[in-house]
Amino acid sequence: MAPTEEAVRAALATVNDPEINRPLTDLGMVKSVEIGTDGSVAVGIYLTIAGCPMRETLTSRVTEAVQGVEGVTGVTVELDVMSDEQRKELAAGLRGGKAEREVPFAQPGNLTRVYAVASGKGGVGKSSVTVNLAAALAADGLKVGVVDADIYGHSVPRMLGADGRPTQVENMIMPPSANGVKVISIGMFTPGNAPVVWRGPMLHRALQQFLADVYWGDLDVLLLDLPPGTGDIAISVAQLIPGAEILVVTTPQQAAAEVAERAGSIAVQTHQKIAGVIENMAGLPCPHCDEMVDVFGSGGGQRVAEGLSKTTGTTVPVLGSIPIDVRLREGGDEGKPVVLSDPDSPAGAALRGIADKLSGRQRGLSGMSLGLTPRNKF
């Protein structure tokens, strides 16, 4: 018995575009469905652009879905390209009628929790922390995005394993994903390892474009990997997303703690909330015994938390301490976050514990979210 067009279109409704993550039928990407008397099916699919990097993935997904329809004997997928008018309609639909250049995370009623990951000094592992928290939250079922806001020292794509390129539909940018995390970085737009030589106004515009022109969808959590210190980007984040909470990353030694406290104190002037302090490189587990070697001293995270609590007049907690772990560094170099590649390692377990606190989860209890709940479950 030959399959019906209704059944084939129902199957296509289960196929999400790999970049936009919404059904092809909702996006107007199904051009045609033709069914032969022998049960063969030819499906026409519109690509957003001619050089769509996900064309093979899309073809594979459509083929697999349609092959599962009863009576189908073969599937042929023919790809076409949207017209300018169709792309404009798609972009307008994705924006939901909202104006261009509008930062969705700053709008009333937005449910995305935004964390700006900051540090006083470079080299404290801020990007490693950002990437692993993002991967851990995504692994728990949350919809997560990362903005690599460290324009001069961008490193998030490599550390997250994101080797895809953004796709532009009209004035909207579709971010690539890796390990379940959507990510955007200036490194995706520069050739090779070329440096970015920009001044303040250009940095602000780049950040605004990452927030307003990128199609993020309905995120549960957005993490911004900030450059060290309290410069242009930190100020721009406060202006563009006033509700963003600050995560302060430090190492234990006194010199780093003092500068980290200074960086976190920007919250007083920008009227932002400090979500907590994360102490990285907290100690080196001795490979020959159970002793912890305090390579960089100890207590820096607690000192920063106490100092910021006094400065802000609020309680700033230490969310966790992450030990020195070779696997954390290896994961960053290989694009395999340690929370996924070795979740039970000392660093992996510590980072997952911090992610649990940010999402409101408590492992080992009911397994249900006590705070953030993945939107795709409702």
What is the C-alpha to C-alpha distance for residues 172 and 91, in angstroms, rounded to an integer?
7
Listing DSSP states for 237-272 in one string gives HHHH-TTPEEEEEE-SSHHHHHHHHHHHTHHHHHT-
The partner residues of 148 in beta bridges, in order of sequence, read 185, 225
Query: What is the number of H-type helices and E-type strands within the chain?
Result: 13, 15
Instruction: Give me the phi and psi of 293, to 5 degrees please.
Output: -95, 120
121 is in an annotated binding site: yes
123 is in an annotated binding site: yes
DSSP 230: S
Tokens of 54: 């996900």
SS3 95: helix
CA dihedral 75, 81, 85, 87 (to 10 degrees): 90
377 is in an annotated binding site: no
* Alpha-carbon separation of residue 242 from 32, 114, 203 (angstroms): 46, 10, 18
**CA proximity to 372, closest of 242, 180, 181, 219:** 219
Amino acid at 146: V
SS3 59: helix
120 is in an annotated binding site: yes
Q: Which residues contact 263 (CB under 8 A, 6 or more apart)?
A: 118, 119, 120, 228, 229, 230, 234, 248
185 is in an annotated binding site: no
Binding site residue list: 120-127
Binding site residue list for ATP: 120-127
